[in-house]
Structures are given as structure tokens and as C-alpha cells.
Amino acid sequence: MLQQACDIQSHGDGEFNYQTLWVLDAEPHCGTAPYSYYWNVSYDGINYTVLSTQKRVFPYTIPKPPGNQKFGTVYLKLNIVDSQGKWVYLKKAISFSCM
């Protein structure tokens, strides 16, 4: 397992709102390049869907939550695997509004 010397960073404009473009970034500081990145997203923190990217940095738009919810949470999960098969597992929850 890689040392957990990285974090999921998020960059956007203003508050976290749905349908706003955010750039997600995770940079490992250990292990051996090249790295593979496996991003997953969930609305309940249990059932995750694989995002169709294996890039370190990628744009992500938070979709509108189901129903008439005014607030929501997106749970991100990332597995980074280095060229030696060592890995690190990261999670981040982003709360957002639908205002």
C-alpha cells in the first residue's frame, strides 16, 4: 500500500452547487510512476458508480440530486495504483446546495 500522502483536491467557482463544473485532482507523492486512477461517485456513500476516467485531473459536474432535495452530498472514492501494484484508497464527501 502506498503511503496516504495525497488528497482529493477540488477546484471550482464559488460554493459547491449542482450543475457547476469542478476540477478534481489527486497527486501521489510516493510510489513509482506511472499511476492508474480509478474514480467512483455515490450519493449515499454505499453504492458507487465508476466514472469513465482514469486521469489524475478531470472536470466533474455535480448532477442534480433526485427528487426536490435542496441539499445533497456527493461521495468520491479514488483508488490510485502505481506501476508496482501498490495502492492508496481515498474518500471525500462534498456537500452542495441546489439553490
Q: Is residue 52 part of a domain?
A: yes
Q: Is residue 1 part of a domain?
A: no
Q: Is residue 2 part of a domain?
A: no
Q: What does the longest C-alpha to C-alpha distance in the chain come to?
A: 46
Tell me how many domains the chain contains: 1
What pLDDT sits at residue 80?
A: 87
Q: Is residue 36 part of a domain?
A: yes
Domain residues for 41?
A: 8-97
Distance CA 8, CA 54 (A): 14
Walk along the chain (99 residues) and give the pLDDT tens digit of each residue. 455 455 566 655 445 556 666 777 887 877 888 988 888 888 888 999 888 777 888 777 776 666 666 667 888 888 888 899 988 888 887 777 665
What pLDDT sits at residue 86?
A: 86
What pLDDT sits at residue 8?
A: 61
What pLDDT sits at residue 47?
A: 92
10: which residues sit within 8 A by CB, 6+ positions away? 16, 22, 23, 24, 25, 92, 94
What pLDDT sits at residue 69?
A: 66
CATH number of the structural domain spanning residue 74:
2.60.40.10
Q: Is residue 3 part of a domain?
A: no
pTM equals: 0.73
Residue with cell 508496482: 84
Distance CA 24, CA 38 (A): 12
What pLDDT sits at residue 73?
A: 80
CA distances from 81 to 5, 33, 45, 87, 99 (A): 13, 9, 22, 4, 37
